[in-house]
Amino acid sequence: MSSLVDILLLALAAGYIIFRLRSTLGRRTGDERPRQPPFRHGDTAEGLERSGNVVRLPGARANGETASQASSKAGGDDAAASPLARGLTQVQLVDRRFDPEKFLAGAKAAYEMIVTAFARGDRRALKPLLSDDVYTSFDAAIRDREAKRLSAETQFVGLNKADIVAASLKERIAEITVRFISEIISVTRNGEGAVVEGDPSKVRRITDIWTFSRDTRSTDPNWKLIGTAAGSS
């Protein structure tokens, strides 16, 4: 008899403990984070942007960031309105393989190759990297240098910065503009080896703005330089 009473008392005690746990754990105190509703098929992109539950498209300028910084991470509230963001998005929509960071890595390599190849007068290296119009201009400059028996020497000290500053899509032709800031030593010598321009001991800070292009319908993944301009640092 006593054992039956003990069992009943234990059962009552266990029930009381369970009741207390449920009443405590099930109560909201106001300090908990609000429960987020699950993603719904009907959610709009605009609504998700406001809720902060979506990674913004690349290219937004926020807090004075450069284009390359903005394109590599989620941007600010003006991402949707940024012309650069729209341009990059258009390119990505027609070319799923396009990645701004990978593009910049290739553009940096192309920049150094083109500058040094031009200094050497290496037409073979330049030809596949330039559009026909740009190649014609480069070739004319090399010919003029050769006619005057001048030689150019360019030494890269460093490529300090490269940023995407513009992007557009024109009838499936993608165009990306990059601002390069580099430090180089550039010298031009005459036929006797005397320096006629530049200083072999002076590092110059150069800003170039180059535009690259690629037909997104082509199986060729390479971009070509279609325009050059000098810019301010």
Domain 94-230's class? Answer: alpha beta
Least confident window among 42-46, 61-65, 145-149, 182-186: 42-46
If you average pLDDT over residues 82-100, what whole number do you get?
92
Least confident window among 13-17, 39-43, 77-81, 219-223: 39-43
Cβ 200 vs Cβ 85: under 8 Å:
no
Q: Of residues 24 and 8, which shows the higher confidence score? A: 8
**Can you give the three-state secondary structure of the chain, one letter per residue?**
CHHHHHHHHHHHHHHHHHHHHHHHHCCCCCCCCCCCCCCCCCCCHHHHHHHCCCCCCCCCCCCCCCHHHHHCCCCCCCHHHCHHHHHHHHHHHHCCCCCHHHHHHHHHHHHHHHHHHHHHCCHHHHHHHECHHHHHHHHHHHHHHHHCCCEEEEEEEEEEEEEEEEEEEECCEEEEEEEEEEEEEEEEECCCCCEEEECCCCCEEEEEEEEEEEECCCCCCCCEEEEEEECCC
If you average pLDDT over residues 47-59, what whole number do you get?
28
Name the residue among 63, 59, 81, 62 with its Cα closest to residue 71: 59
- Categorize the per-residue pLDDT at 23 as very low, low, confident or very high, splitting at 50, 70 and 90: very low
If you average pLDDT over residues 172-183, what whole number do you get?
95
Per-residue model confidence (pLDDT) at position 82: 87
On the question of pLDDT at 54 being above 50, the answer is no
Q: Write out pLDDT tens, residues 25-40.
A: 333 334 433 333 322 2
- Categorize the per-residue pLDDT at 180 as very low, low, confident or very high, splitting at 50, 70 and 90: very high
Percentage of the residues of the chain whose pLDDT score is greater than 70: 64
- Global pTM reads 0.64
Per-residue model confidence (pLDDT) at position 113: 94
Domain spans, the chain: 94-230
